[in-house]
Amino acid sequence: MARLKRLDEVFRAAPIYFVTACTWRRRKILAVSDVKEAVDAFGAAGPAAGAWLGSYVLMPDHLHAFVALDGARCGLPQWMKALKACVAKPVRARGVTGTVWQKGFFDHVLRSGESASDKWAYVRANPVRARLVADEENWPFWGEVHLLRSDDCDRR
């Protein structure tokens, strides 16, 4: 079955997306401080290109993030490609060879009235469900670069 195409138009100036990307063969290479630093720096530089990285969680073999994009300046596939390239740099600097990321990613656009807080609560608890920590507050590989609100996501 063919994958459905993304909508060409979204009826918001800067929709908020929930995205997930996995490492190649689910290698456990992401939950380290240099990757978190790279994600934070990438997110901080984003507004110049029309992208605002909100909350994110780095798991050992995947990441979850919320991002608002100004579609006129930045599309989701281009943003994900740039994020993956940014994260691959510190991974490779640690001597990891071969493919870093699985091809593609999962995305979901938050629609009017949909609660990002419910999705965030679920994602934020991932390290506990994976038995990496007993309390989600003890997981050091998460952050929030920009505050994104689903009722006001035009950040231009």
* Domain CATH for 93: 3.30.70.1290
- Whether residue 11 is contained in a domain is answered as no
Residue 73: per-residue pLDDT: 83
Segments of the chain scoring below 50 in pLDDT: 4-12, 152-156
- Whether residue 111 is contained in a domain is answered as yes
- Whether residue 10 is contained in a domain is answered as no
Q: What is the number of structural domains in the chain?
A: 1
What's this model's pTM, rounded to 2 decimal places?
0.86
- Whether residue 99 is contained in a domain is answered as yes
Rounded (10°) angle between helices 33-45 and 76-93: 150
Residue 155: per-residue pLDDT: 38
Phi, psi dihedral angles at 46 (to 5 degrees): -60, -40
Q: Which domain holds residue 82?
A: 16-144
- 131: alpha, beta or left? (left if phi > 0; alpha if psi -120 to 50): left
